[in-house]
Amino acid sequence: NRSSDLQKNVQLYKIRNGYSLSPHAAASFTRQNLAKALREGPYTVDMLIGGYDEHDGASLYYLDYLGTMAKVPYTAHGYASYMTLSIMDKNYKEGLSETEAVDMIRMCIAEVQKRLIINLPKFNIHVVDREGVRTIDDEKMET
């Protein structure tokens, strides 16, 4: 219910003001809520917030349950991070095209499926760009 509360607030901003919150503003707003909750009743949820803005282009923010926020080119949370951060360190470069980025994600997913003890057969890949959010439906991801 936490994320729906935040989501509704972001939508309310658009209704009130006529334009969407920028990704940075949405991430900062979320961060402030997490930070406030930390000392009252913490939300034990980490997040990655990705968005597209005409002004700044695409941006990705790492948030954790403490309210730590960092703008990053690529990142991962949880067990995935142990396996995938190094893959992304090696393969990432500035100005990746969408196909290259999705291929990199596929590489990461393959690695997680190989190395993690828990079997995770299906993954969803979502792409966020100037047209909005869409899901990539893929047979390639199933093992």
Partner 1 sequence: MSALEYNGSAIVAMMGHECVAIASDKRLGRQAQTLSCDFQKIFQMSDRLFLGLPGLGTDVETVSNRLRFRLNLYKLRENREMKPRTFLNMVSSFLYSHRFGPYFVEPIVAGLEPTTSEPFIASMDLIGCPMITSDFVVGGTASEQLYGMCETLWRPDLEPDDLFEIIAQSLLNAQDRDALSGWGGVVYIVEKDKVTIRHLKARMD
**Which positions lie near partner 1, rule CB under 8 A?**
31-32, 34-35, 38-39, 62, 64, 66-72, 75, 81-82, 85
81's tokens: 């991070």
Spatial separation of the C-alpha atoms in residues 138 and 143, rounded to whole Å: 11
Provide, rounded to whole angstroms, the least separation between the CB of residue 30 and partner 1.
12
Tell me whether residue 108 is exposed, middle or buried, using C-beta atoms within 10 angstroms of its C-beta: 0 to 12, 13 to 18, 19 or more. buried
139's tokens: 């047979």
Spatial separation of the C-alpha atoms in residues 131 and 117, rounded to whole Å: 37
CA distance to 26, 43, 73, 142, per residue, from 52 (Å): 11, 26, 13, 28
Provide, rounded to whole angstroms, the least separation between the CB of residue 143 and partner 1.
27
Provide, rounded to whole angstroms, the least separation between the CB of residue 87 and partner 1.
15
Q: For residues 53 and 64, which CB has a smaller minimum distance to partner 1 in the complex?
A: 64
Q: For residues 81 and 91, which CB has a smaller minimum distance to partner 1 in the complex?
A: 81
Q: For residues 33 and 136, which CB has a smaller minimum distance to partner 1 in the complex?
A: 33
116's tokens: 């993690």
Q: For residues 8 and 79, which CB has a smaller minimum distance to partner 1 in the complex?
A: 79
Provide, rounded to whole angstroms, the least separation between the CB of residue 61 and partner 1.
10
